[in-house]
Amino acid sequence: MMAESPHAPAPSPPRVFVYGTLRPGERNAALTTRFGPPTVQRATLPAFRLFHLMPEGYPAIVPGDVGQGVRGEVLSYSLEVWRQLLPLLDALEGVEETPPLYRRERVRVTLALGGAAEVWTYVYARAARLEQSGAVLVSSGDWLQRP
């Protein structure tokens, strides 16, 4: 996994792994279809841990151990749609806050129908918050099954 600048070019084809409020049916999902519908594939991000943050009401992922993983979806876009959408996703995820809330990183996911894909995802950047009250590990790796 390699950290990327928020202004780095997106991988081709433009894809993002979503695991929380951007997943289809969740509260921020409308943002993901603002400029056109993506192709959606279920996927797992291996070797990451998932937390549910309360009272914030959103998830956080951080690197974990082999055997752990986070479930979500890969959203794939045309390059034209991706160029419009990416700044909005970065803003929602607080990439340019000081300190950043999340970092956009390139990761490799396992697709549910087989194979793997290199995608963007948002990794939580405020590790100290995960040591505080209200940071609950979601052992299933699926934010839809949060406590």
Convert the pLDDT of each residue in 10-48 to its tens digit: 556 699 999 999 999 999 999 999 999 999 999 999 999
Domain assignment present for 1: no
Q: b/e map of 100-119 (b: 16 or more CB within 10 Å)?
A: bbbbbbbbebeeeeeeebeb
Domain assignment present for 62: yes
- pLDDT confidence band for 87 (50 / 70 / 90): very high
Q: Answer yes or no: is pLDDT of 58 > 70.
A: yes
Domain assignment present for 2: no
CA separation, residue 83 to residues 62, 122, 126 (Å): 26, 17, 27
Domain of residue 43, CATH code = 3.10.490.10
What is the number of domains present in the chain?
A: 1
- pLDDT confidence band for 140 (50 / 70 / 90): very high
Domain assignment present for 145: no
Domain assignment present for 94: yes
Q: What is the pLDDT of residue 147?
A: 84
Strand partners for 107: 119
Domain assignment present for 117: yes
Domain assignment present for 101: yes
Domain range for 99: 10-138
